[in-house]
Amino acid sequence: MTSPADLARPNLGRARTAYEELVAQGMKLDLTRGKPSAAQLDLAAPMLGLPGEHYRAADGTDTRNYQGLQGLRELREIFSGALQVPVEQLIAFGNSSLELMHDTLVHAMLSPLPGAERRWVDEDRVVFLAPIPGYDRHFAVCDRLGIELVAVPMTPEGPDMDVVERLAADDPSIKGIWCVPKYANPDGVVYSDDTTRRLASMPTAAPDFRIMWDNAYAVHHLTDEAVEIADVLALAADAGHADRPFVFGSTSKITLAGAGVAFLGASATNVKWWLALTGKRTIGPDKVNHLRHAMFFGDAAGVTAHMAKHRELIAPKFAAVERILTERFADTPGVSWSTPKGGYFVTLTVPEGTATEIVRLAKEAGIALTPAGATHPGGEDPQDAVIRLAPTFPPLDEVEKAMAGVAVCVTLALAQRD
């Protein structure tokens, strides 16, 4: 008797023929990292002529000189609203928010956090909760520092808070959680207000529990709807846990990825702690670059207008991914994908045990995909079912070619299943 699975299985002969034709094209396409395209970077080209001879900040500071560890105030004012951090509690620094996350954890390892009894390096175990699918670079920072990761499933409203609350309340070695609260990497989930409230207010066995709130896509909308999230700093303060969140963001996918500005926001106590420790390794960030950014944007409305130009460039690429996947797999059991309203990624979910094979087939056909498992701690997806797609960097025609090729690879992998 023919089973439903057999009925849904693509014809193996046709799938192999299509794949052989794909390989014969000799393509060299890349859907791996979420990088801005050259056209997006060109949007910020006028910055390269700034600040010219006008190198003094609004308060008269000579931005060419030392000092100013917290960063230029006028730039912090521009991004304060988007990141939901009061200006006095916001730090503007170098080009990489990942650097700020890394340094924050290193500081916690080597110096007691506010509210901590001792340094994390003196603890028997240090554990972070990792919502999955998640961001591989978050996991890599923990791996480097010997911080264990415990996977927590994601829901359409953010991490499964029943699991998070239970784990955090029971185990004092659990010191924090990674969060990408808006247009999450890689599934595009937006945290609900209730999820944020529960994170900010939940009991934790560790008095120095921290939320690493990576708001990387705060202004990266793909539709006309500017999705908003709850203010985690305000909610934590109201719940009596003002020191719990560290908020991160950057202009890396707004202006120039290699020459942007990263931000850190936190309670006044956390900011004082962070600046005191960071002052041991640097006298100050690149304030000329801060001024360049402040002059380029002018105000928060300037950021909004600039991001509308980004949306015009990348929204068609996400639409192409959606169209091709829908055309090929709308009625295919076990194949689904995210339709994000913002951010930089699409998550493709395939039948269990096929993701690695799909990535391998794509590589042999000249299409580079993020390794299967990269969205999970240790690079191991137990279901081998998640593939992260990053359509922003290639031109639109290459996105279409790459996705058509990915569809061929998915079809062959499904046809080959035992």
Render pLDDT for 53-65 as a digit per residue (tens, 0 to 9): 999 999 999 999 9
Distances (CA, A) of 312 to 43, 306, 364, 392: 11, 10, 32, 12
Letter for the amino acid at 60?
G
Given a cut of 80, is residue 1 above it in pLDDT? no
CA angle 138, 141, 142 (to 5 degrees): 90
Same domain (yes/no): 270, 290:
yes
Same domain (yes/no): 290, 318:
no
Same domain (yes/no): 81, 173:
yes
Same domain (yes/no): 103, 196:
yes
Q: Quick one: average pLDDT of 388-397?
A: 97
User: Which tens digit of pLDDT belongs to each residue from 359-384?
Assistant: 999 999 999 999 999 999 999 999 99
Among candidate residues 298, 325, 346, the one where a domain is terminated: 298
Q: Quick one: average pLDDT of 20-25?
A: 96
Same domain (yes/no): 319, 194:
no
d(CA 32, CA 53): 40
Q: Quick one: average pLDDT of 96-120?
A: 97
Q: Quick one: average pLDDT of 400-412?
A: 98
196-199: Cβ within 8 A, 24+ apart:
196/158, 196/229, 196/230, 196/232, 196/235, 197/230, 197/235, 198/161, 198/164, 198/165, 199/161, 199/164, 199/232
Would you state the pLDDT for residue 8? 63
Would you state the pLDDT for residue 4? 43
State the total domains in the chain: 2
Among candidate residues 298, 328, 351, the one where a domain is terminated: 298
φ and ψ of 265, to 5 deg: -125, 150
Same domain (yes/no): 19, 78:
no
Would you state the pLDDT for residue 33? 83
User: Which tens digit of pLDDT belongs to each residue from 230-253?
Assistant: 999 999 999 999 999 999 999 999
> Which of 156, 163, 169 minimizes the C-alpha distance to 130?
163
Place of tokens 């409230």: 197
pLDDT confidence of 3, banded at 50, 70, 90?
Answer: very low
Given a cut of 90, is residue 216 above it in pLDDT? yes
The pTM assigned to this predicted structure is 0.96
Range of the domain at 16: 4-31+304-416
Would you state the pLDDT for residue 9? 78
Same domain (yes/no): 358, 239:
no
User: Which tens digit of pLDDT belongs to each residue from 297-344?
Assistant: 999 999 999 999 999 999 999 999 999 999 999 999 999 999 999 999
Does residue 397 form part of some domain? yes
Does residue 36 form part of some domain? no
Among candidate residues 244, 264, 298, the one where a domain is terminated: 298
Same domain (yes/no): 317, 372:
yes
Distances (CA, A) of 246 to 215, 242, 317: 10, 10, 32
Same domain (yes/no): 367, 236:
no
Q: Which two tokens stand for residue 61?
A: 């500071």
Q: Quick one: average pLDDT of 118-137?
A: 97
What integer best gives the mean pLDDT of the chain?
96
Does residue 24 form part of some domain? yes
